[in-house]
Amino acid sequence: MPPKKPITPDALYQLKHVEDPQLSPDGRWVAYVVRTQAKLDNAYERHIWLLDLADRAATPRQFTFGAKSDLAPRWRPDGTALAFVSLRGGKPQVYYIALAGGEAWALTSSANGAVNPVWSPDGKQLAYLSDVNADERQAEDEGKEPPSPSDSLDARHRGERKAEDEKRKLDPRVIQKLPYRTGTEYYDDRTTHLYVMAVDANGKAEKARRLTDGDRDYTHIDWFPDGRAILSSQSGKPESDPWFFQRPVRIPTSGAHRQTFLTPPGFEYTEARVSPDGRWIVANRQSDRASFGEPLRMVVFPARGGAVIERAVELDRLAGHFTWSADSRRVFFTAEDRGDTGLYVVDVTAGKARRVVGGRRVILNYSLARTGRIAFVAHTPAGPADLTICESDGKRERQATDLNAGWRAEHAVAPIEEVWHAAPDGRRIQGWQLLPPVRERGAKVPLVLNMHGGPWVMWGPSVPEVWLEMQVLAGAGYAVYYCNPRGSLGYGGEHALLIHNDWGNHVMHDILSGVDAIVARGVVDPKRMAVTGGSYAGYMTAWIIGHDQRFACAWAQRGLYNLTSFFGTSDIPQLIEREFDARGFEDIERLWEQSPLAYVQDMHTPLVIEHQDNDWRCPPSEGEQLYAALKRLGRTVTLLRYPREGHEMTRSGEPGHRVDRLNRMVAWFGTYCGKKAKRRA
């Protein structure tokens, strides 16, 4: 057999991913999304697929065609049809397609798009979310509808007129809230609201009704079993910090705009879900004054409001993706633990959790049928997520898809080895090492230290966000090392909270002592080592090269480098308040001491500062400050900026940008760590 090929950045265009599995209520069918990356269009394509689980010989079949983005399939409770979201008309709208197949049709025609379709328990109503402003809400309440266009020219002119009006509204841009931008865009005057429409047995929809009002955002939808109300979440401070202070709210599906908060202030609640019998609500809870490193706690409380009870306390892990069992006695959830993400279940009465599905993998999402059957997608050390089916006890697993089998047969996937080491203070730190699949016997290889952001994140051997990046570096001849220093999730609350008021020092020692342990194995050339990381790990990249000179080069990705300026420009100013117990204009000296920019004169390592033009999480001004300082000092530095992109570019940005970035990174590391590398003076 010919030798397998090394993995290169272009693999991004070849790999396929399974997303969002949804079992039919009776557990017979599973619908899921297959995502691919189109090189010519520089875009992602998503299509819905179906698999008949009653026929062991059945093969998956593509269910939606034509459009380049069909996603979020949701079964009608009787199993006869799916609602889904499609961008086939431009803006996202909710569509309907019968299980028997045929042409899909739009249920919504919202001017600003419609997302997150959720069926009522009886299947007679469909709820969804859409963005509207005060004028649009008033027109809806007054029943005003523009007349239908007389012809296509009239329709086009109306569209052009609306686009021009929207443009003029933002010239100048009047800002009166904080934050005022997020993702890759500025906030406009619209907020996200909840709509409900009746849908008959044939999939014909009546006019939708909006259930909410005001300049507040509603974040999710979960029906009460009688269909008379919906459980959602709403910010307690809509004029500022819209992401925070979320509280569960009960919204009636008939009558005037009325709602009832189900919990008192003082805590933030996320992922609230009501039990099938309507008696209980499960959610995650965190003090609204706590460090973001404080673990979210799973809680259960009466659906009509009452005492809150913590559950799965002994697990001491971040829980999420809650799903009730059909009998309302148990809650299934995912949790991160020492590099892996498994599926767990907790008895709501006893409160003790147990793992249902484990293994060396990251379960990304899952679905539970009324029968107890489970469908989940999981990323593994071998590659992107595929679909697996099992029973409610986790037994009788069978992998239902293997989308990248042919690709793996041709490419050399580097094994990922678990490595533990002791930090200088004795704390045990878990990490992982990849070695080049092909290397000369006895020859030492260069090393790339890769670090995770967050900082409250967990990486492991199956981490989907950077799996390809790690494998590309290994394929280019590098050993790769990464670990979960203090501050990381997956090791309990105490481990996560240790970095409060100190983001740099102890974390650096955790990481560099791991590098020492890897070098001591005798495979790595300590004179040819590079360091990289994004977001908080961009911060750590700059922090390390300002305190340590062992690395031949560095690549800082979308980082924050000055805590005081970050406070005033990021879409999460609360991060500074809650992690350093001060606002950006208070205790300036201490915040400066915790800023990598304070140590710029000690930075001599050749550095690429990568940033995205529309990143409002770690704004470009952070990279600009570091670049300007290093340039004025005469250091070797390059500022690399990607247009149109935001903080998520490396995970979901334009495929062409993602491939370009990896090629440039490999070339930069090769300049200083390759066999003919430049040597620093």
pLDDT at 190: 92
Predicted confidence (pLDDT) at residue 243 exceeds the cutoff of 70: no
Distance CA 534, CA 540 (A): 9
pLDDT at 389: 97
Closest CA to 217 of 176, 186, 197, 245: 245
Sign of the alpha-carbon torsion through 536, 449, 638, 463:
negative
pLDDT at 439: 86
Distance CA 234, CA 260 (A): 11
Average pLDDT of the residues of the chain: 94
The residue-averaged pLDDT of 68-83 equals: 96
pLDDT at 101: 81
Predicted confidence (pLDDT) at residue 211 exceeds the cutoff of 60: yes
**For residue 323, what are its two tokens?**
């799903």
The residue-averaged pLDDT of 128-149 equals: 90
Residue with token string 């570091």: 626
Closest CA to 563 of 511, 629, 502: 502
Distance CA 219, CA 237 (A): 14
Distance CA 529, CA 669 (A): 9
**For residue 317, what are its two tokens?**
């892990």
Q: How confident is the model at residue 68 (pLDDT cuts 50, 70, 90)?
A: confident
488 Rama class: left (phi>0) / alpha (psi -120 to 50) / beta: beta
The residue-averaged pLDDT of 142-167 equals: 80
pLDDT at 169: 85
pLDDT at 387: 98
pLDDT at 273: 97
Predicted confidence (pLDDT) at residue 603 exceeds the cutoff of 70: yes
pLDDT at 242: 59
In three-state secondary structure terms, 422 is strand
Distance CA 543, CA 680 (A): 19
The residue-averaged pLDDT of 41-58 equals: 94
Closest CA to 592 of 527, 653, 504: 504
523-565 pLDDT per residue, tens: 999 999 999 999 999 999 999 999 999 999 999 999 999 999 9
pLDDT at 445: 97
Q: Are 507 and 499 in contact (CB under 8 A)?
A: yes
Sequence-ordered list of residues with C-beta below 8 angstroms from that of 370, at least 6 positions apart, any chain: 25, 26, 27, 326
For the CA atoms of the chain, what is the radius of gyration?
26
For the chain, give every domain's residue range: 265-359, 413-673
More confident of the two residues 246 and 354: 354
Distance CA 178, CA 48 (A): 38
Predicted confidence (pLDDT) at residue 475 exceeds the cutoff of 90: yes
Spatial strand order of the sheet with 191-198 comes to 115-119, 125-132, 191-198, 209-210
In three-state secondary structure terms, 384 is strand
pLDDT at 351: 83
More confident of the two residues 89 and 666: 666
pLDDT at 256: 73
| Of the candidate ranges 82-96, 108-122, 132-146, 372-386, the one whose mean pLDDT is the lowest | 132-146
pLDDT at 240: 59
Closest CA to 127 of 118, 114, 138: 118
pLDDT at 678: 72
Q: How confident is the model at residue 237 (pLDDT cuts 50, 70, 90)?
A: low
- Residue 149: asked if its preceding bond is cis (omega within 30°), the reply is no
Predicted confidence (pLDDT) at residue 236 exceeds the cutoff of 70: no
pLDDT at 288: 85
The residue-averaged pLDDT of 180-206 equals: 94
pTM, full prediction: 0.95
Q: How confident is the model at residue 157 (pLDDT cuts 50, 70, 90)?
A: confident
DSSP at 411:
B
Helices first, then strands: H and E counts in the chain: 13, 38
| Of the candidate ranges 1-5, 452-456, 630-634, the one whose mean pLDDT is the lowest | 1-5
287-326 pLDDT per residue, tens: 888 888 888 899 999 998 788 999 999 999 999 999 999 9
**For residue 59, what are its two tokens?**
């093969």
CA 637 to chain centre: 30
Distance CA 306, CA 150 (A): 56
The domain made up of 413-673 has a fold known as Rossmann fold (3.40.50)
- State what percent of residues in the chain have pLDDT above 70: 98
Q: How confident is the model at residue 148 (pLDDT cuts 50, 70, 90)?
A: confident
**For residue 632, what are its two tokens?**
């004025």
Looking at this protein, which amino acid is placed at residue 294?
Answer: E
10-44 pLDDT per residue, tens: 999 999 999 999 999 999 999 999 999 999 999 99
Distance CA 238, CA 190 (A): 12
Predicted confidence (pLDDT) at residue 158 exceeds the cutoff of 80: no
Q: What is the DSSP pairing of strand 185-186 with strand 191-198?
A: unpaired
pLDDT at 681: 55
Q: How confident is the model at residue 333 (pLDDT cuts 50, 70, 90)?
A: very high
Predicted confidence (pLDDT) at residue 184 exceeds the cutoff of 80: yes
pLDDT at 446: 98
pLDDT at 238: 58
